[in-house]
A = this chain, B = another copy of it.
Amino acid sequence: MPKEGVKLLDMWASPFGMRAKIALLEKGVDYETQEEDLFGGKSDLLLSSNPIYQKVPVLLHDGKPMVESSNIVAYIDEVWPNPPLMPACAYDRARARFWTHYIDDKLFSGGRDIWLSKGGEELEVAKKEFIEILKVLEGALSDKDYFGGDSFGYVDIMTIPIASWFPASEKYGNFKVEDHCPKISAWIKRCMEVDSVAKIVPEGEKICGCVAYIRKLNGVAEE
């Protein structure tokens, strides 16, 4: 384990790893990544630095491990304060943490319920619930360019990596986010043009390939 510098234990498709990488790029922090084989064997470094959850991402800063992506991004924002990712005002910070909680609670699992569903009624319920989750988020975004206002910030960093998995939900759910939530759809396009996001977030096609693999592992038949 390198005792100095910043190292991220990661898996390229993990939306939670993407959060940490986008935050590090926004701050201009040099880092190296170690790709983990989540479906094969995890590294000893991952198991020893996140013994309870054994998940990526883990951020090692001068050898000290941090886990949980929202926690990692908060740490990055504290240690490298410029440019700030969190809003300056305590109330706005509380709102940002609340939306992060909502996203962590609902958004990824909502999309996953679609591409892990076996079709029929189960799929229709999953789609309906996912679109409701998105509409709540669209209400929070409202007419702003980004969740925090005029500039790309903390809640955007929390959300856009998860949005990078939407193409898989759209593919297996046979719907378009744009048809239900045009403001969220425009926000995704806007974020994808931010340098750090463009560098980190993979193409929808690659994510769909990863999801096809996870579906197979979970015994969900391919059409």
Residues in A lying within 8 Å of B, measured CB to CB: 52, 61, 64, 66-68, 71-72, 74-75, 78-79, 90-91, 93-94, 97-98, 101-102, 136
B residues in contact with A61, CB < 8 Å: 91
Q: Do the beta carbons of A75 and B93 come within 8 Å of each other? A: yes
The quantity of this chain's copies bound in the complex is: 2
B residues in contact with A94, CB < 8 Å: 66, 71-72, 74-75
Q: Say what secondary structure dominates the interface of chain A.
A: helix
What 9 additional pairs, Cβ within 8 angstroms, besides A71-B101, A74-B94? Answer: A52-B102, A61-B91, A66-B98, A67-B98, A71-B97, A74-B93, A74-B97, A75-B90, A78-B93
Q: Do the beta carbons of B52 and A136 come within 8 Å of each other? A: yes
> With A and B bound together, what is the CA distance between A101 and B69 in angstroms?
11
